[in-house]
Amino acid sequence: MFKILKKEELSPNVYAMEIDAPRVAKKAEPGQFIVLRVNEEGERIPLTIANFDRETGRILIVFQVIGASTMELAALNEGDDILDFVGPLGRPSEIGKLDGTMVVVGGGIGVAPTFPIARAMKEAGNKVIAIMGAKTKDILIMEDEMKQVTDEIVVTTDDGSRGIKGFVTNAVQALVDRGEKIAQITAIGPVIMMKSVADATRNLGIKTVVSLNPIMVDGTGMCGGCRVTVGDETKFACVDGPEFDGHLVDFKGLMNRQRMYRDLEAEEKDHVCKIGLGRN
Amino acid sequence: MALSMKKHPMPVQDAKVRAHNFDEVALGYDEETAVAEAERCLHCKVPQCRKGCPVSVNIPEFIAKIKERDYDGAVAKIKESNSLPAVCGRVCPQENQCEKFCILGKKGESVGIGRLERFVADRALEKGEKVEKPEVAADAQSVAVIGSGPSGLACAGDLAKKGYKVTIFEALHKAGGVLSYGIPEFRLPKDRVVQKEIDNIKALGVKIELDSVAGRLYTVDELMNEEGFDAVFIGTGAGLPRFQNIPGESLNGVYSANEFLTRCNLMKAYKFPEYATPIKVGKRAAIIGGGNVAMDAARTALRLGAEHVSIVYRRSAAELPARAEEVEHAKEEGIDFQLLTNPVAIEDNGEGWVKSMRCIRMELGEPDASGRRRPVPIEGSEFDIDVDTVIVAIGTGPNPIIAHTTPGLETTKRGNIAADEETGATSKPGVFAGGDIVTGAATVILAMGAGRKAAAAIDDYLQKKKAQA
């Protein structure tokens, strides 16, 4: 059992939880993920690590309530336990000194997993700029935290309620236009956003890394449910990734696979709403 | 009394009924049938059956005990060489092992050795075995076992009996490895059999750490240098699913058998939405492959509500690698067998889902490296089968996590861990390995046998280490 030490609602339906998982925290690196299971009937939910503290043994996760399983997770409170919490999984981000600026792009809750990457790249001696995108200013998350680990943050909102009106790709273009020498972009967020960033940087020749969170069961290479085409090869996001070269990822195939259980997810949400959380 | 040339039939659930439930198919002998079946054993002077058993169970002696109605004695006899009899009685391919060599088989049917093994093992499990916890000295040496499948459980059990402190590290949230995530409930009941076998291992004092992905949480070196283990056994199995690399394998509706079975067995997707993990099985399913896993996937698809389920296998019936009983059961349940057939592409319905599978007919040519006749495509024989679900069951490869994170651990060209056949010793001192991670996908009994051999070798290694200290 893994205790929830802290819970915070960052924006409507978006929660941050600090989990007491010292063994995982000891080994976690930026870019890795965990798999959790709320209760005996629960799904295995993969979440990218938003922060880790080796001293206090805590792992921070940030998630949005989208289906029945995240609804059940959100219903837990400080002091409650999560049944299973496995990690760290996947390969860590490549961290090192770049020849130019490091840009992290986070869309929606995708901002959270860019945090440890930005911090590590900053500590490695890089100039780090964070682009943070949200639909509107009220759902922007972790702005203060991102400020602390970067040289500059650029906010974009779809409705223009904060920062640049538009998408994260507009902000990337603005950096390029002002002559910023970008060595690498790491983009994390909705698949469509990662695809847009990769499309925008392809012709600019900027190395673009994306972090994928496809459907998966075990997270250790066993099920192959998370397979994604990268270049000409089939890769498993859990053991070969979750980070891949954004210019090689087959985003169309990935978006298709994300839809696989959509109808069943609706049925499940309905079921959980009817019988109440906890399922039995 | 005239000797019956036929085995006593195994009582089974009716095929029409069982095709719609997940309860066990084979119901097991009752006492009188078991004793009568045991009476068929001729007690050959030179018993051939033992030669066919990968772990040389003393078959004639355990059968003799059944004749005497000494069932505890029979189980004890089996357990001298097989730590998981209730499992092996159900899943061993007896027709290629012990029963293949039974002298009765020459003129009629062999003794039902597997059925008798299951009978006594189940009886012991139901009665609740008394497991005596071995004495563990305060300064006993400790062993880390990676993976709680058949090889890991067997290795851990033997080491615990010898007085070592043993901890198993299991990546999933449930112990048992393939016994839990792979083999379906209708062939190997989880609560009644698998969990009890695991509880017996725990009762010996073995600690099982779930949710612990060795290689990530602790590397093998860290287990030995920081966590204080004196030896490590790696039994991580053949977990990585293979695909055929034909067009369309990423479409929705295509599963690896591992994913399909894991969703159903481990995550209990057959109880969705009471259990949260979903599974999709359409009206028509095709399973690619002819082994036990393919049969398990086909019969699971049927039980999940598919109306038509086909096995698509590129060789002929004679080469089907599955246990004869599984093939028979699958046929009785109405599974269609498309033999000498190979898929070449999976077609898209235009919306990203499987519409059909293009196949080609095959014929058997000259024998290949495996000694089986090589299937060769018949030109121009392509045809489509209508399916909305495709399950790929063409085998699995070794999981690379341990090999990638353990410097000095030699692997083979195929990515298996290189280990001595008799001792499981690897290229790294103090590190042993056994089961599918060494041999490639094989059987429960072979993995268990490898775990036990490694346990003996680890004992030897640790005694020498202690003497040197």
Residues in chain A closer than 8 A to B267 (CB atoms): 43-44, 217
Interface of B with A in 376-405 (CB under 8 A): 399-401
pLDDT tens column, B297-309 = 999 999 999 999 9
pLDDT tops 70 at residue A272: no
A263: number of CA atoms within 13 Å, CB side? 3
Q: Are B306 and B270 in contact (CB under 8 A)?
A: no
Interface of B with A in 183-212 (CB under 8 A): 210-212
Nearest CA in chain B to A269: B273
Amino acid B346: pLDDT: 97
β-partners of residue A61 are: A17
- Taking only Cα atoms into account, the Rg of chain B, rounded to an integer number of angstroms, comes to 23
Q: Are B168 and B148 in contact (CB under 8 A)?
A: yes
φ, ψ of residue B315 in degrees (nearest 5): -105, -165
Architecture, CATH, for domain A2-89? Beta Barrel (2.40)
pTM: 0.92
Interface of A with B in 206-235 (CB under 8 A): 217-218, 220-225, 227-229, 234
- Taking only Cα atoms into account, the Rg of chain A, rounded to an integer number of angstroms, comes to 18
Q: What is the 3-state secondary structure (H, E, C) of A172-209?
A: HHHHHHCCCCEEEEEEECCHHHHHHHHHHHHCCCCEEE
Task: Report the relative pairing of strands A14-20 and A58-64 from DSSP bridges.
Answer: antiparallel
Determine the Cα–Cα distance for residues B54 and A140; give it in Å rounded to an integer. Answer: 62
Q: Given pLDDT bands bounded at 50, 70 and 90, which one contains residue A69?
A: confident
Q: Given pLDDT bands bounded at 50, 70 and 90, which one contains residue B387?
A: very high
Q: A234 and B256 in contact by Cβ < 8 A?
A: no
pLDDT tens column, A132-153 = 999 999 989 999 999 999 999 9
Q: Where would I find the beta strands (DSSP E) of B257-296?
A: 284-288
Q: Are A31 and A92 in contact (CB under 8 A)?
A: yes
Amino acid A274: pLDDT: 64
Q: Given pLDDT bands bounded at 50, 70 and 90, which one contains residue B160?
A: very high
Amino acid B1: pLDDT: 53
Nearest to B453 by CA among B120, B56, B117: B56
Determine the Cα–Cα distance for residues A218 and A221; give it in Å rounded to an integer. Answer: 7
Percent of chain A scoring above 90 in pLDDT: 81
pLDDT tops 50 at residue A279: no
The tokens describing B265, both together, are: 């067995």
**How many CB atoms lie under 10 A from the CB of residue B292?**
22
Determine the Cα–Cα distance for residues B458 and B274; give it in Å rounded to an integer. Answer: 44
Determine the Cα–Cα distance for residues B219 and B405; give it in Å rounded to an integer. Answer: 6
Determine the Cα–Cα distance for residues B35 and B21; give it in Å rounded to an integer. Answer: 30
State the complex-level ipTM. 0.90
DSSP secondary-structure letter at B11? P
Average pLDDT of the residues in A172-178:
94
Read off the amino acid at residue A131. I
Interface of A with B in 42-101 (CB under 8 A): 42-44, 68-69, 72, 83-89
Residues in chain A closer than 8 A to B181 (CB atoms): 222
The set of residues, in sequence order, having a beta carbon less than 8 Å from that of A247 and lying 6+ positions away, is A198, A201, A202, A208
Residue B45 C-alpha, separation from nearest chain A C-alpha, in angstroms:
47
Determine the Cα–Cα distance for residues A79 and A86; give it in Å rounded to an integer. Answer: 19
Amino acid A275: pLDDT: 55
Q: Given pLDDT bands bounded at 50, 70 and 90, which one contains residue A273?
A: low
**Given A23, A217, A229, which is nearest B263 (Cβ)?**
A217
Determine the Cα–Cα distance for residues B122 and B74; give it in Å rounded to an integer. Answer: 12
* Of residues B116 and A253, more confidently modeled: B116
Residues in chain A closer than 8 A to B252 (CB atoms): 256-257, 259-260
A39-53, A256-270, B252-266, range with the lowest pLDDT: A256-270
Taking all residues of chain A, what is their mean pLDDT, rounded to a whole number? 92
Taking all residues of chain B, what is their mean pLDDT, rounded to a whole number? 93
H or E segment at B78? helix B71-79
Q: Where are the domains of chain A?
A: 2-89, 101-211
Q: B240 and A272 in contact by Cβ < 8 A?
A: no
Average pLDDT of the residues in B60-72:
95
Instruction: Give the C-alpha distances (Å, rounded to integers) separating A203 from A230, A245, B95.
Output: 18, 14, 62
* CB environment B221-240: b (16+ within 10 A), e (fewer): bebbeeeebbbbbbbbbbbb
Q: Given pLDDT bands bounded at 50, 70 and 90, which one contains residue B198?
A: very high
B84: number of CA atoms within 13 Å, CB side? 35
Q: A261 and B278 in contact by Cβ < 8 A?
A: yes
Determine the Cα–Cα distance for residues B53 and B74; give it in Å rounded to an integer. Answer: 17
Q: Are A218 and B237 in contact (CB under 8 A)?
A: no
Q: Are B145 and B454 in contact (CB under 8 A)?
A: no
Q: Which strand ranges, in their side-by-side order, compose the sheet holding A45-48?
A: A45-48, A33-37, A84-89
Amino acid A280: pLDDT: 39
Task: Report the relative pairing of strands B254-256 and B284-288 from DSSP bridges.
Answer: unpaired
Instruction: Give the C-alpha distances (Å, rounded to integers) separating A96 from A29, A164, B136.
Output: 13, 30, 48
Average pLDDT of the residues in A228-234:
91
Q: B277 and A43 in contact by Cβ < 8 A?
A: yes
Architecture, CATH, for domain A101-211? 3-Layer(aba) Sandwich (3.40)
B306: number of CA atoms within 13 Å, CB side? 28
